[in-house]
Structure 1
Amino acid sequence: MPNADPPFDARERAALCDLFERVGPDAPTLLDGWTTRKLAAHLLLRERDALAAPCLVLPGPPARFAERRTIALMGRHEFPALLARLRAGPPFGFFRLRWVRDFPSLNEFFVHHEDVRRANGLAPRADLPADMEHALWRNVARGSRFLSRRLRGTGLDIGWAGSPQRITVRAGEVAAELSGSPGELLLYLFGRQAAARVGILGSPHAVRTVQSTRFGM
């Protein structure tokens, strides 16, 4: 029988929208100065504004353009309307492609779900299904080299705590090892170092170097 479970990104999308409804439009997130209203608008803009979406990951004028479009979207739609459109999923096109859903979209919704959870006093999830854990680990392995590109002066290994899964992200004579569950590792790699529950092993120099590096996009 075919698997009837929804795709991983759809699970996180639905759970995040449920949480948005619980905490309301003005709740904090881990993103400095961002409310849940702004985060919902950001997620909608990413999928539905072909002009502004590429600017979300660019600095300078493109970033300011995306910011203006996000604010305009917040002004046009009340929070329930933003959530209704977000729940509906991406329109036909790029964001419906399977690899997009499994990789960047799963990352986007998982990380932002945790941005809201942890800023509002909710503990890390200890009950993620095994298939979700494996999907997140695949994404850690796929994205870790890019997300750690600013790391200099030490190598980096990443291990899934409690399992034999381990990858070398950056080779070096001296290396630090980042260890945790796949979701926590993903949060760390996306720059949520203060919130992520991970361990860092290695020489004092290697550990300090990892801790002082800005990970993420």
Structure 2
Amino acid sequence: MIRHASIERAALCDTFLEVGPDAPTLCGDWTSGDLLAHLLVREGRPDASAGIYVPALAGRAEKAMARLRAEHDHEALVERLRQGPPAWHPTRVAAVDEKVNLVEFFVHHEDVLRAGLGAPRRSLSAEHIAALGDQLAVMGRMLFRRTRGVRVELVTAKRHTRIGSGDGPVVQIHGRPGEILLFGFGRRDVAEVELIGPPEAVETVRTTDYGL
């Protein structure tokens, strides 16, 4: 079994080393160092990572991130991320790792690449693209659940996935799986997708605040 999440983890770590800790990202005002600390807290500090998902506890995660950055240099933190989660963590299991980390690492890798490097888009293997497509098929309904009055159809080279039901107009989102995932995670300004449908419905999809 090819572990695409592990491949993406390694590639992200290489990029973190290339750009250093102060590069911009697509995650608001976070730098690359902040994003790196976020990923380490997410998979290594269950006592603090609840703050990533529960706004009332956000201060706990932020304090853990700040402490990591204060106590360790950038290269050491990159190496910690590269080595993977603690031995007790569920994502040590390959199948769990693919479901939990592949999209997380892919999206955040693009957050760094597309914010500052100005480099050509990555050329992913067909297997990697297919793995992202599998995750899109699972996550699509959750990502695009906020669409109102419009039915969304996700269209890749291999799949058509309809989101929503009823009699509303249909807007197709065409693109590679990774690009549609970026759009669904709120990176609409950089996602390379094409929206096809009635103009008003397309505008609804284009301006909806998507994400988990």
Q: For the superposition of Structure 1 and Structure 2, which TM-score range results when normalised by the shorter chain?
A: over 0.9
After superposition, residues 136-175 of structure 1 pair within 5 angstroms as 136-160=132-156, 163-173=157-167, 174-175=169-170
Match of 2:11 in 1: 15
Match of 1:76 in 2: 71
Q: 2:120 aligns with which of 118, 123, 145?
A: 123
Q: Do 2:91 and 2:100's aligned partners in 1 also have CA atoms closer than 8 Å?
A: no
Q: Do 2:179 and 2:192's aligned partners in 1 also have CA atoms closer than 8 Å?
A: yes
Match of 1:88 in 2: 83
User: Is 2:189 aligned against 1:191?
Assistant: no
- More deviation, 175-184/63-72: 63-72
Determine the C-alpha separation between the residues in 2 that align with 1:146 and 1:65.
Answer: 26
Q: Do 1:176 and 1:203's aligned partners in 2 also have CA atoms closer than 8 Å?
A: yes
Count of matched residue positions in the alignment of Structure 1 and Structure 2: 209
Gaps of 5+ in 1: none
Match of 2:34 in 1: 38
Determine the C-alpha separation between the residues in 2 that align with 1:86 and 1:54.
Answer: 19
Task: Detail structure 1 runs of 4+ shifted over 2 Å in the superposition.
Answer: 97-100
TM-score, normalised via structure 2 length: 0.94
Determine the C-alpha separation between the residues in 2 that align with 1:32 and 1:182.
Answer: 24
Amino acid paired to 1:212: T
User: Is 2:45 aligned against 1:62?
Assistant: no
Match of 2:94 in 1: 98
Amino acid paired to 2:41: L
Q: Do 2:103 and 2:135's aligned partners in 1 also have CA atoms closer than 8 Å?
A: yes
Determine the C-alpha separation between the residues in 2 that align with 1:213 and 1:63.
Answer: 24
Gaps of 5+ in 2: none
RMSD value over aligned CA atoms?
A: 1.3
User: Is 2:110 aligned against 1:114?
Assistant: yes
- More deviation, 185-194/96-105: 96-105
The percent of aligned pairs where both chains have the same amino acid is 42
TM-score, normalised via structure 1 length: 0.92
Match of 1:52 in 2: 48
- Structure 1 counterpart SS, 2:46: coil
Determine the C-alpha separation between the residues in 2 that align with 1:172 and 1:52.
Answer: 41
State the shift of 1:98 in Å: 3.0
Q: Do 2:151 and 2:165's aligned partners in 1 also have CA atoms closer than 8 Å?
A: yes
Q: Do 1:117 and 1:123's aligned partners in 2 also have CA atoms closer than 8 Å?
A: no
Alpha-carbon distance change, 54 to 100 in structure 1, aligned in 2, over 3 angstroms: farther
